[in-house]
Amino acid sequence: MVYSVPLIIFMDDVSGNISKQWNKHHAIYMSNANLPREMLEKEFFVRFVSSSPHALPMELMRAMRESISDAAQSGVIAWDCKYNEEVMLIPYVLFLTGDNPMQAEECSHAGLNCNYFCRTCEVGGTKEYKESEAGYNTIFTSGNLRTPEKTLQEIRQQFETAFKSGATTKIQNSVSLTGVRDSSSALILSALVELGKKLRKCTVGSQALPENEVELEIPTGLDIHMDTPTEILHTILLGVVKYFWGQTVFLLKKAKFLHIFQCRLESIDKDGLNAPCLNADYICHYKGSLIGKHFKSLVQVMPFIIHDLVPPTVLNAWTVIGELVVLVWHTKITDTEAYLACLIPL
């Protein structure tokens, strides 16, 4: 019997302590996606793969990919204790998880602070354009999807630019206009820029090489644009929900309604919550230091608590955010056939 084993790969940096013993390093873990969600959440089913304080994240990921590829080609022989027979396991990567900065690095993307801030599509533009009425509206619509071919083409273009005059400025403009920045080759690119300056520089007894004679060819990269699902903790709970919470608390304190909010939060029924974590005293006392589990619970009850304490626009925003969170944290598919039927047209 041969079984396919989909793997969920997680990579992140851990510990930024200045002590040498706990210096910042990157670690890779993996999980078996065939397991039920309740099992995936248990520490026992998360397997450590690799860690290094010296290797770059993409260097670790490349070794990880090669290891999985070798295992998939030869297969992994294991013993099936249920049927008492040998089986062959064929592993493959289902998707890669991590926070937004790490996933952007895996996609050779410059991150959320660049003009074209999305690693999946080309939405965005210059600061002036995004602040205009037309540009602001385009932020809420998806742009053209990024493809590995176009990303690779842009990286190649940056390498070809490295040997041309004004390479540093041209590469910076390229990153600004496309959002593509490959961290794994950044050091090589910087070295090539300096080498290009030396090759074009006239020395005694020799002439500078023309730009068309200084060329470079690079290998193909890894396709992960569509294999890095959005990291919803930082994007939603510690992003939009956290900021709306801060603004709502400001309005409640300004109107001196915070004590009413605390009383309602303390008395609300918590039986129907997906994540019951509503300690009203703690939440109101440490309102500026809440974490994801607090926001996940708050967003489910906020419209019922603040319906007459805040302006209608704020109430409507909390209602929309609540609906979004319910859809995003949809942890169980009751009817797989109906779900797939709706998913296929998308």
* Diameter over CA atoms, the chain: 87
pLDDT in tens, 103-135: 888 888 888 888 888 888 888 888 888 889 888
Which of the two residues, 163 and 27, has the higher pLDDT score?
27
- Sign of the Cα torsion 169, 171, 172, 173 reads positive
CA separation for the pair 194, 199 (Å, rounded): 9
Q: Which two tokens stand for residue 203?
A: 């020395």
Range with lowest mean pLDDT among 254-263, 302-311, 335-344: 335-344
CA separation for the pair 255, 217 (Å, rounded): 64
pLDDT in tens, 267-297: 887 777 765 567 888 888 888 888 888 898 8
C-beta of residue 52 within 8 angstroms of C-beta of residue 60: yes
C-beta of residue 277 within 8 angstroms of C-beta of residue 297: yes
Q: What share of the chain is helix, strand, coil (3-state, %, to 5)?
A: 50, 15, 35
